[in-house]
Amino acid sequence: MRKKAFLIAGLLVALLLAGVVSNFASGSPDGLDYAAREGCTFNADDEITGGACMAQREGEHQLGDSPLADYAIAGIDNEFLATGLSGVAGVLITFAIGGGLFWLLRRRDRASS
């Protein structure tokens, strides 16, 4: 029973963090984005105007039109809600996949012994 309570509490904390706190994450580029933009010059709209950097060759991602692209759910106009729901969906998908894998591995171990 303690394991189940621990898992439920962990899931609730993860859902809270993903649904609420994720909206306050930094909008600044992460390390990879920063390194890719190193050497370029930018205008006031943050568009590349010159220099030589990897970011000049970037293109659209193949899944850029997917429902959870850009850390938000497509079709929801409220940015706070779209980001929060995207985080909650990510946690639930990750929990379902991880839980399913653990369930399969545990079942396989019981069958082999």
Contact by Cβ (8 Å): 61, 49: no
Helix (H/G/I), strand (E/B), else coil: 1: coil
Contact partners, residue 40, CB within 8 Å, separation at least 6: 48, 49, 50, 51, 52, 53, 55, 56
Q: Of 81, 55, 82, 53, which Cα lies nearest the Cα of 70?
A: 82
Contact by Cβ (8 Å): 53, 39: yes
Q: Please report, for the chain, the start and end positions of each structural domain, with discontinuous segments joined by +.
A: 2-112
pTM value > 0.75: no
- Whether 21 has a pLDDT exceeding 80, the answer reads yes
What is the CA 51 to chain-centroid distance, rounded?
31
pLDDT category of residue 29 using cuts at 50, 70 and 90: low
pLDDT in tens, 43-101: 998 888 988 998 888 888 888 888 888 888 989 999 899 999 999 999 999 999 999 99
pLDDT in tens, 5-15: 999 999 999 99
Contact by Cβ (8 Å): 79, 68: no
What confidence score (pLDDT) does residue 106 get?
87
